[in-house]
A and B are shown apart, each in its own frame.
Chain A
Amino acid sequence: MTQIRSLSIQSVKAVAKDGIAGGETQAILETKIHAENLCMYYGSFRALVDVNFRAYANKITAIIGPSGCGKSTLLRTFNRMNDTVADTRIEGQVTLDGEDIYAPDVDPVAVRRRVGMVFQKPNPFPKSIYDNIAFGIKLYNPRMPKSELDARVEAALRGAAVWDDVKDKLKQPGTALSGGQQQRLCIARAIAVEPEVILMDEPCSSLDPISTLKIEELMVELKRDYTIIIVTHNMQQAARVSDYTAMMMMREDRAGEVIEFDETETIFTKPKDKRTEDYVTGRFG
């Protein structure tokens, strides 16, 4: 219960506002991503079992749970990144704005344009800061005039609150930046292609507290335009930034499942499941 007291003012407000709205207004929230009875297999190993999960538009949804419970795997089903691993398949369905993203005629490449991703370890391309951003833009408009490209690169970098750090060194390699700047560069790279959803896989786990704070503030900024789903090990972070939280656990057969999904405040203050309570209060295990 101590975690809830450390919420930043901003997120307390956000949580409070949603809290006032209460459960009954949930119906009018627009569902962006919806996983229904989702099972996911690596070969014969079942990694996810009967997952039901929702991410609402312009909300931050956190996925928490102990290590190895399938948080990242779940996150990667939302932009079909698991497809890059050989021999994976799913049962059930995942929809984006009601469209089945695993339908046979859907190309994962098209899904990923609408669902961007930021990874655990900052992974800027070993190219200039400018090219890091421009690469994504050029994928969708290879013949964009230089002036417009410049403007878009700047807009993306501003959007990820990293413009002031890099505006004088756009030609320098992105890998030369600090960890926090690299991660914001990666966020800028993701938003440059104008996705609807941004998936964040423990985006702050390799960053120091100040960089973490900046990313968290950025996330709250970004949810005005994007739907954000974040996997995190950091309970305070989930409490501080997210509007909704999904709690995942591992079954006996090591398959991950979502045991509770609710507004963040509810998860942290009045969890229905005993295991969630144990986990968020640090008594788990």
Chain B
Amino acid sequence: MAVSPSPFPQTLPAPPEIGADPSVRRRQRIGAIGQAGLFLSLVIALVALIVLLLDVVNKIGGMAVYGYRVDPLTIVPSIPLEELSQEELLQIARDFIPAERLDELPDELGMTLEELTTDDLIGVIYNEVPNPETITARPLDTLADQELVEVLDNNITDARFNQLNAEKPFESRSREELIELIEEEVLLESVVKTWPLLASLFNRQAIEEEIQANYPGSEYGFHWWLTPEFIISDLTTRPETTGVRTAIIGSVLVIFFTILFAVPVGIAAGIYLEEFAGKSRINTLIQTNIYNLSGVPSIIYGMLGLAIFVRALSEFTSGAAFGIPDPPPNGRTVISAALTMGLLILPLIIINTQEAIRAVPQSLRDGSLALGATKWQTVRHHVLPVAMPSILTGIILGISRAVGETAPLIVVGAAAFVTTDPSGLFSTFTVLPTQIYTWAKLPFDTFRNISAAAIVVLLVVVILFNLTAIIMRNRLRKSL
């Protein structure tokens, strides 16, 4: 038979010997470069992530210098100079009046200091020594227990005083406890300077030298900002004592109700759009809009929530319509936030549900329908269980987004300073991201430290939520 002519206009170059084919080597080289590029991208991503995490972790603890906002010597009444003896006054004059003035004084006064009366001596001391009261001031640890209680009583409000007394009667507190109490309540013991965690761990020597040079005599030590107390404490105005319990409860409540609202609605809408809605023009329009909605900036949802849930529906969102006692004056409540967040993640969940359902092989539906199952039975018993793990993945993404979202909640009314724990749908609240934002923008290092600590708490909350969803997903996968 005759060889038929090649259908190709041009024949490929003849292959050279195996092992000496430069074109193969070139193609492999391109592949290797491509692969290196992929790996590099991964490294960049990982490095960025690690840097970010380190930056946060770096602030949650470290060396700190402690100081008092209030000078301890000013809160204890000093001994009046008038009560001192001649000898003691002379001693003060000799110790605190500069030497050259001491030499000049006898000439000015016309007599030596020793010859002055007590009253005149006091007058001289007042004239020559700045802040003479501090000379006779008494440190806290020289006071008797009763005097310590008096100091406390004079410097804090009666209500606080009674509260502390109720916690533990002052009579039964030890001397050290009383001093500690004064340091916390009156002197406002605070951190005046902090160093990052890594530097504190690996360069402690240098920091200690710096402290001794710049803050002589100050107390210092290693200070953790992220402590169990930080997690369980009320919000206060001082970074040293504040806590995020209220914000954690607020976040968890808001997310819980967000899930309660958005997940069933989102899944149901996704199922309807994918399985039951036909291909009409209106459905296409709806579909397109859902995709667009998922890209709308979250602040827009915040404005929407403010206009609708907080203002227009305030009667309901404040709980007044449901007759709850003492409702807040407007709808800045957990339910408004949850509904706003729900709207925000709804498109995400719908789209994800649709994709999960689309991924279920048609053969599965056919198998069920061919047995005479209705469409509903098919979706309910076969499509949904198979799609559920992927749907949960979408929910995980939605939750992560909602937990970390700040902007819409600031608009909808997560207050920056809430000290009472939210207790239900109609409570005012704050959430972790809002708290972090509020702290982070304050111009004090120590607030940045607690903001970092709160970020870690937020991350843990996100991880816990996701972990729950992941465990549920794996359970579902296993049961298939």
Instruction: Say which residue of A86, A125, A140 sits within 8 Å of B368 (CB atoms).
Output: A125
Chain B residues closer than 8 Å to A136, beta-carbon distance: 371-373
B382 to chain A, nearest CB (A): 6
Flag B46-84 by CB within 8 Å of A: 1 or 0 each.
000000000000000000000000000000000000000
A190 x B480 contact (CB < 8 A):
no
- Bound-complex Cα distance A84 to B382 (A): 16
Decide if A71 is an interface residue (CB 8 Å cutoff): no
Contact partner of B370 (CB less than 8 A), chosen from A79, A126, A127, is A79
Q: Given A86-B278, A119-B366, A173-B480, does the pair A135, B371 have CB atoms closer than 8 Å?
A: yes
Binds A, one of B111-119, B221-229, B244-252, B357-365: B357-365
A6 on interface, CB distance cutoff 8 Å: no
Question: Interface size (B, Cβ < 8 Å)?
Answer: 21
Instruction: Name the A residues within 8 Å of B369 (CB-CB).
Output: 81, 84, 109, 112
Give the chain A neighbours of B365 by CB distance below 8 A. 84
Chain B, 25-56, CB within 8 A of any chain A CB: none
A135→B381 contact, CB < 8 A: yes
A contact residues around B371 at 8 Å (CB): 112-113, 116, 135-136, 139, 189-190, 193
User: Contact between A139 and B377 (Cβ–Cβ < 8 Å)?
Assistant: yes
- 0/1 per residue, B233-246, Cβ < 8 Å to A? 00000000000000
Given the interface contacts A123-B363, A139-B377, does A193 sit within 8 Å of B368 by beta carbon? Answer: no
A173 to B480, CA, bound (A): 8
Number of interface residues of A (CB under 8 A): 26
Contact of B361 among A123, A127, A139 (CB under 8 A): A123
Separation in Å of the A122 CB from the closest CB of chain B? 9
CB–CB B367/A84 < 8 A? no
B224 CB to closest chain A CB, in angstroms?
50
| Chain B CB within 8 A of A229 CB | no
A81 with B364: CB separation less than 8 A: no
Question: Contacts A109-B374, A123-B361, A125-B382; is A84 near B368 (CB within 8 Å)?
Answer: no
| B281: interface (CB < 8 Å) | no
Contact status A126-B279, CB under 8 Å? no
CB distance from A205 to the nearest CB of B (A): 14
In the complex, A121 Cα to B361 Cα: how many Å? 11
Is B348 in the interface zone, CB < 8 Å from A?
Answer: no
B479: min CB distance to chain A, Å: 9
Q: By DSSP majority rule, is chain B's interface helix, strand, loop, or mixed?
A: helix
Complex Cα–Cα for A81 and B375 (A): 12
Is A110 in the interface zone, CB < 8 Å from B? yes
> Are B364 and A125 in contact, CB atoms less than 8 angstroms apart?
yes
Cβ of B349 < 8 Å from any Cβ of A? no
Q: How far is the CA of A147 from the CA of B264 in the complex (A)?
A: 36
Q: A230 contacts the other chain (Cβ, under 8 Å)? A: no
- Which residue on chain B has the smallest CB distance to residue A110? B372
Closest residue on chain B to residue A199 by CB atoms: B370
The interface residues of chain A lying within 8 Å CB-to-CB of B386 are: 126
Whole-angstrom distance between the alpha carbons of A125 and B365 in the complex? 9
Q: Mark B131-167, 1 if CB is under 8 A from A, else 0.
A: 0000000000000000000000000000000000000
Check if A116 sits within 8 Å of B370, measured CB to CB: yes
Query: Smallest distance from the beta carbon of B226 to chain A beta carbons, Å?
Result: 45
- Contact among B278, B361, B370, B382 with A112 in the assembled complex (CB-CB below 8 Å): B370
In A80-139, the 8 Å CB interface with B consists of 81, 84, 86, 109-110, 112-113, 116-117, 119, 121, 123-127, 135-136, 139
Tell me the complex Cα distance, A121–B367, Å: 11
User: In the assembled complex, how far is the CB of residue B43 from the closest CB belonging to chain A, in whole angstroms?
Assistant: 38
* Contact A109 B480, beta carbon cutoff 8 Å: no
Candidate in A110, A135, A173 with the most chain B CB atoms within 10 angstroms:
A135
Contact between A119 and B480 (Cβ–Cβ < 8 Å)?
Answer: no
Q: How far is the CB of B23 from chain A (nearest CB, A)?
A: 37
Please, how many angstroms separate the alpha-carbon atoms of A123 and B372 in the complex? 16
Q: Which of A81, A86, A139, A186 contacts B279 (CB 8 A)?
A: A86
Most buried by A among B361, B367, B372: B372
Is A121 touching B363 in the complex (CB atoms < 8 A)? Answer: yes
Closest beta carbon of chain B to A27's beta carbon, Å: 32
Given A86-B278, A125-B382, A173-B480, residue A109 in contact with residue B366 (CB < 8 A): no
Q: Which of B288-306 contact A (CB under 8 A)?
A: none
Interface positions of A from 138 to 190, Cβ below 8 Å from B: 139-140, 173, 186, 189-190
Residue from B365, B371, B374, B381 having most chain A Cβ neighbours under 10 A: B371
Per the 8 Å Cβ criterion, residues 371-430 of B in contact with A are 371-374, 377, 381-382, 385-386
B373, A117: Cβ atoms closer than 8 Å? no
Tell me whether A190 and B370 are in contact in the complex, defined as CB-CB below 8 angstroms, given that A86-B279, A125-B382, A126-B386 are known contacts.
Answer: yes
- Among residues of A, the one whose C-beta sits closest to the C-beta of B381 is A135
- Contact B373–A123 (Cβ < 8 Å): no
Question: Chain B's nearest CB lies how many Å from the CB of A156?
Answer: 12
Contact at B374–A123, with CB atoms within 8 Å?
no
Q: How far is the CB of A152 from chain B (nearest CB, A)?
A: 14
Determine the distance from Cα of A125 to Cα of B366 in the docked complex, in whole angstroms.
11
In the complex, the chain A residue whose C-beta lies closest to that of B480 is A126
Q: A residues within 8 A CB of B373?
A: 109, 135-136, 139
Q: Are A119 and B372 in contact (CB under 8 A)?
A: no
Residues of chain A contacted by B385 (CB below 8 angstroms): 126
Q: Which residues of A contact B (CB under 8 A)?
A: 79, 81, 84, 86, 109-110, 112-113, 116-117, 119, 121, 123-127, 135-136, 139-140, 173, 186, 189-190, 193
A-B contact pairs, 10 of them (CB 8 A): A81-B366, A109-B372, A112-B372, A113-B371, A119-B363, A123-B361, A139-B371, A139-B377, A186-B367, A190-B370
Nearest 6 CB-CB pairings of A with B: A113-B372, A117-B370, A123-B363, A136-B371, A112-B372, A123-B367
Other A-B contacts than A116-B370, A126-B480, A193-B371, 12 sampled, CB-CB below 8 A, are A81-B370, A84-B365, A109-B373, A109-B374, A112-B369, A121-B363, A123-B367, A125-B367, A135-B368, A139-B372, A173-B480, A190-B371
